[in-house]
Chain A
Amino acid sequence: QLQLQESGPGLVKPSETLSLTCSVSGGSISSGSYYWGWIRQPPGKGLEWIGTIFYSGSTYYNPSLKSRVTLSVDTSRNQFSLNLSSVTAADTAVYYCARVNTGSYYNFDYWGQGTLVTVSS
């Protein structure tokens, strides 16, 4: 059974960089059949797609965040990561990593449990 687990600091100061890692178990991130993505949800609000990465390193970003987001992948560790720079309070959210099933009309079929990141001094 595929499992995803987010990890990283729960508190980040304004103007600094938010860094999270998603560890994948029960399947290979290099299988080539799937992409891997990040989605966030501010407290009490809806979901926002942040970006998607392929094991080869190809990336696709939400234009609203593109100037501040970098996704990367480490196939040797079966992990992929999110860096979000110059954070403000508006970036406070639960951050989810997910598998992107592009073979079924592009959906997020497996999700991590999510990790709350608070931006505050």
Chain B
Amino acid sequence: DIQMTQSPSSLSASVGDRVTITCRASQNISPYLNWYQQKPGKAPKLLIYAASSLESGVPSRFSGNGSGTDFTLTVSSLQPEDFATYHCQQSYSSPYSFGQGTKVEIK
């Protein structure tokens, strides 16, 4: 099974900050890496698929990068509505595993 590890587990940031979250896979999964945003009490929302493709309707301040085993999600200028938990997910092979999540909190 492919293990997904996110770092950090949580971070504090201010509105306007540039934020980067890292996701590492236990083997090469390129480009089968997706990113989701989840707000408290809500379902996850797809942000990025295939490592760097922006889902329709998602603001352009979100971007994804990476290849092989190492991937990043960057928010170029954090907005109040971006405070949430972010999950990466590999879709390279079954079982389709998720990272443990990164909680982005207000500083």
Q: Is the CB of A111 within 8 A of B94?
A: no
- Interface residue count for B (Cβ, 8 Å)? 25
Query: Given A104-B49, A106-B32, A111-B43, are A62 and B89 neighbors across the interface (CB < 8 Å)?
Result: no
**Contact at B43–A113, with CB atoms within 8 Å?**
yes
Q: Which of A46, A112, A113 contacts B98 (CB 8 A)?
A: A46
Q: Which residues of B contact A106 (CB under 8 A)?
A: 32, 91, 96
Q: A46-B98, A47-B89, A47-B98 are in contact. Are A105 and B43 (CB under 8 A)?
A: no
> What CA separation (Å) do A106 and B53 show in the bound complex?
13
Residue with the greatest number of chain B CB neighbours at <10 A, chosen from A101, A104, A108, A113: A108
Question: In the complex, what residues of B have CB within 8 A of residue A48's CB?
Answer: 98
Interface residues of A in 87-121 (CB under 8 A from B): 96, 98, 101, 104-109, 111-114
On whether the beta carbons of B34 and A107 are closer than 8 Å, the reply is yes
**Chain A residues with Cβ under 8 A from B98's Cβ?**
46-49
Assign chain A's interface to a size class. Answer: 20 to 34
Interface majority SS (helix, strand, loop, mixed), chain B: loop
Query: B43 touching A114 by the CB < 8 A rule?
Result: yes
In the complex, chain B residues whose CB is within 8 Å of the CB of A105 = 31-32, 34, 49-50, 91
Query: In the complex, are the beta carbons of B46 and A107 less than 8 A apart?
Result: yes
Show the binding face of B for A, using Cβ within 8 Å. 1, 31-32, 34, 36, 42-46, 49-50, 53, 55, 87, 89, 91, 94-101
